[in-house]
Chains A and B, each alone.
Chain A
């Protein structure tokens, strides 16, 4: 367990024993009850299943040690790259006068909306052993340029699919970094880049850490990319191991076996959170008003930097979208891309397929529901764990992060069993619960950075003016963090709309979700209709993000 921050006895945030009713304490109890219901219950189920039988020997024989190493390395490396890419992206898009940065931001965010397995299929068509690029390269230079299959490809694609998440967290924190500090550095004679490096980046540290932990832990649980890119080269991760044991119908007690793998993933997540807590102890607080930063003029570098940014952005995102669009507009795979062959049939088939309409309704309801629940709970949890002192902060924080590391299938199994005992089985609510379990961490990490840099002086001022502790928390950190929590909620909703692995197991007739509709079309071999539906989700999602970003920027 993570050791919590030492309590300072003089701290006003501690109520003395025997005192009258403590509203903040009541909120904390409510939060614990919530966490017990939506996180502890399913995870405890998984853990107890994992210890229900001893499958360690079987798993060691199945190569769990190698898979755990692959999981840790691929998740860690991809998170480092994702955070680096996201930081450059945030600084360029939000702090400079890069040409067309509004549009480029939306383009760069698109991988957030494309289901990872769809992106993976597109990339293999390009960089597989006989993919387009490699064939072109081999014809000219006698060998393939780069074969995407294997560990390096897994890291690359995990990076591509997780940097948007990191960017949104970092960009939200960057907005809270005042521009006048950089101004002072500039007046003192620092170059614009030096001012950014020595002033802004250190202040972004908590956000970088939060983004790193979230992406690393989420990438531990990703299944689509390691399955499509890693397995052909026998690069097995823990999440693909889960599917191996559940897919082959001949394994004895498959749930116990995969729950044991789930426990190993939980341990890796505990490690990640522990490292995060150790590193984020030394964070700086910012005092004073936040003035709007001056966009940094790129000057003579504007065109070359702009060209480079646009090239990288389009290379990373244009291809999967182009692949999706071409698949959506062609009747079948392998039909040459020509005007005469284009058809709207696949799109029509996708929209009119039975289940799609129900899927859209359910997914909207569930995604919005999960977004709201996670935003509220995540905000309360974030405020309590960062702005009050208590011995159980660390455990609350850890609880919120843990489910991120567990593959959807394992969480769904936990909810299947809990659902049987609570009567939620085969209802929409069980899917909503699973979404909240799985995505709460997104909001918690999104609000952490802005909260940890909010100055304590405002709260002290409120307390000095006679506000109660609850009132103080509500008026200062909660009010200041609502935008970040809203961003987190939108992220949760977008992730939930294209969620697949949990929904597939938890749907019942009439509770189908959009992800399951896509999956059903794909399983029926109708990739073109599946692509069409993914494309529609992507377009609607980007439009939604655009509107959301537009209203945010307009305020």
Chain B
């Protein structure tokens, strides 16, 4: 390599490195908004088919075109974070995950305040009192069991502490699944369950699966006959013919609400508000029920085979408190189940 060419390559390398470093040290002012004007961009963790149906109904209703970026919650987090460090968020609306995630974005000043038009018809527990986000579905965590392998299904969390379920239980990993971490914190802060129950559950050697999907899969296939999983997955598998059913635990049901919020960076807040309104409107919630979700309002019924919302012992803990203890709860869980 000649000195000249060595110099050129060193210069090239240096330039790139400097650019990359500069890129990370301060956010650029340039706005690389890709979506054309007049379209709304939504980031969501909803399954593709469900969000497609939702968007189609919204566009038919309002004439507003919607672009969807669908990914798992973790990938959404990474994408939003990468966009935040390099400029503006590329989405108008975020529809994903759980309240604690939104609490984080709220604290970082990334969300706009908006209270949907129909707020009085909604379950007050899913509406952020500060008005930065609103829950769009009730997604409870329940006990699923394989109907071919289990005769007398457990009906309460307490039952899962019974030694007869040793080696038979599977549950999502709170290290990876935000919802599972949230549930762990809720269980620990529920007086009737708490640490004693968690210890007894851990003594039953549960198999910690990666997330809700594999749990439903393992229970339906019979590899682990009992599982702790979100309710709509069980209804969907059962509808397709899997030998799986669920019980809503009588001693309290933790749930997440798949909130929707509008980013401060949104360049079409008007359309974004219409979308949030639609999500919790009667029509939007009827669609949610059709898609096997429990709704956030009382005038649209519930999915086939699901009890009325008023019959469920939903746990509504103080979110601030849960957010505070969540990390410790996960650590405790990892200490016990290992």
Binding site for B on A (CB under 8 A): 15, 17, 19, 22, 25-26, 28-29, 32-33, 36-37, 40-41, 44-45, 48-49, 52, 121, 124-125, 128-131, 149, 227-228, 231-234, 236, 240, 243-244, 246-250, 252-255, 258, 331-335, 353-355, 390-392, 409, 412-413, 416-418, 420-421, 423, 425-426, 504-505, 507-509, 520-525, 527-528
Contact = CB atoms under 8 A, between A and B. Distances in A.
A524 B12 contact: no
A128 B224 contact: yes
A149 B167 CA distance: 13
The 10 closest A-B pairs by CB, nearest first: A249-B101, A524-B47, A332-B240, A247-B74, A32-B9, A44-B20, A333-B220, A416-B82, A334-B220, A234-B338
B208 interface: yes
B100 A249 contact: yes
Given A15-B2, A25-B1, A335-B242, A421 B28 contact: yes
A409 B77 CA distance: 12
A178 B47 CA distance: 55
B20 A334 contact: no
Interface string B12-49: 11011101110111001000101000000000010111
Given A247-B176, A248-B178, 16 more contacts: A25-B1, A32-B8, A33-B12, A128-B207, A129-B205, A227-B176, A227-B210, A234-B338, A249-B97, A334-B244, A335-B243, A421-B23, A423-B32, A509-B69, A523-B213, A527-B217
Query: Which of B12, B73, B83, B221 has its CB near the most chain A CB atoms (within 10 A)?
Result: B221
B47 A250 contact: no
B305 interface: no
Contact of A41 (B20, B167, B168): B20
Contacts of B5: 22, 25-26, 28-29
A140 B212 CA distance: 33
Contacts of B168: 130
A253 B21 CA distance: 17
A36 B217 CA distance: 44
A249 B98 contact: yes
B224 A130 contact: yes
A37 B85 CA distance: 21
Interface string B224-250: 110000000100110011111000000
Nearest to B99: A249
B79 A416 contact: yes
A425 B34 contact: yes
A293 B82 CA distance: 55
Interface of B: 1-6, 8-9, 12-13, 15-17, 19-21, 23-25, 28, 32, 34, 45, 47-50, 52, 67-75, 77-79, 81-83, 85-87, 90, 97-98, 100-101, 103-104, 146, 148, 167-168, 173, 175-178, 181, 205, 207-210, 213-214, 216-218, 220-225, 233, 236-237, 240-244, 323, 326-327, 330, 334, 337-338
A40 B101 contact: no
Contacts of B209: 228, 232
B132 to A, nearest CB: 15
Contacts of A130: 167-168, 222-225
B203 to A, nearest CB: 15
Contacts of B87: 420
Contact of B82 (A36, A420, A528): A420
A521 B48 CA distance: 8
Nearest to A144: B167
Contacts of A22: 2, 5
A63 B140 CA distance: 31
A421 B87 CA distance: 10
Nearest to B9: A32
A58 B184 CA distance: 21
Contact of A413 (B82, B205, B236): B82
Nearest to A233: B338
Query: Which of A236, A524, A525 has its CB near the most chain B CB atoms (within 10 A)?
Result: A525
A41 B16 contact: yes
Given A32-B9, A232-B209, A505 B181 contact: no
Query: Which of A33, A247, A392, A505 has its CB near the most chain B CB atoms (within 10 A)?
Result: A247
Nearest to B108: A252
A423 B73 CA distance: 25
B20 A520 contact: no
B9 A525 contact: no
Given A15-B2, A392-B6, A524-B48, A36 B146 contact: no
